[in-house]
Amino acid sequence: MQAAQRAKRDAFLDKIGSRPLVMGILNVTPDSFSDGGAFGDSQAAVARARAMAAQGCDIVDLGGESTRPGAAAISLAEELGRIEPVLTQLAPAFELPISIDTYKAAVAARAVELGAVLVNDIWGLQKDAAMAEAIAGAEAAVVVMHNRSEKNAALDIVADMRRFFDRSLALAASAGIPHKRIILDPGIGFGKTSRQNLEAIARLAELKDYGLPILVGASRKSFLGSLMPDRAEASPIGTLAASLAAAAGGAAIFRVHDVAEHAAGLKVFHAIRSAAAR
């Protein structure tokens, strides 16, 4: 990692906890559940990243493979072919840090070579055996997300998260990833029933003893639609409500499609919470 990247990485990590941070979603995929195909062209993707920066996001999360339920896996070459042109154009002069949303070690390593500073792994270092070593070698920060290959309504989902995170953190420690570069994500919408998604947000405080920042990505997830009369999960309203509930429970970073609404809503939340603490 270059010195300028380290500075961006550390500046971002140092901001965590000072106020709620917004991670803007940039999917360069044809089949993502909410915005598939919208930013497949690299110029459109770069323009979207710049627009999110202007709207108040703190980090842009670039993804080249859809992880929606039922999505077909793509090859390493195809994923690299989607993200490389965007990073090549965006990273050199972009003021914000960039994260790469991937579970493939080779994609993570290449993204950091091109300017990313954080790896957002939906399988928490447990899908690709080389991922922890790749992140450590690249000096990147990492989001360790909880995931399951299938739903199990009988599970205590927070207990399952803790078992998963314990394994992931052991892998991170073995590879030499510093504790200060790790962020936890409960994985809203991944391998969970609607009830478990609600429970994961409601019980976030039970993860505080890890002493690590928590990222929540509830944006436009289908369980939100089931809670609203018109089932409009794409509406910012449900996501913002979930994000504010997560913020009250201790979440520090919010991965969202609707950046402007979240930057404004979380700013108000933080002002009220800060006033109450005085």
Tell me which of 9, 220, 255, 278 is the catalytic residue. Answer: 255
Tell me which of 220, 221, 231, 273 is the catalytic residue. Answer: 221
Contact status, residue 191 vs residue 148, Cβ threshold 8 Å: yes
Gap between the Cα atoms of 218 and 245, Å rounded: 11
The gap between the terminal CA atoms of the chain, to the nearest Å, is 40
Overall residue count recorded for the chain in this entry? 278
Active site residue 110: no
Gap between the Cα atoms of 38 and 52, Å rounded: 14
Active site residue 255: yes
The pair of three-digit structure tokens given for residue 51, joined into one six-digit string: 């627009």
Closest CA to 125 of 109, 146, 111, 151: 146
Active site residues: 221, 255
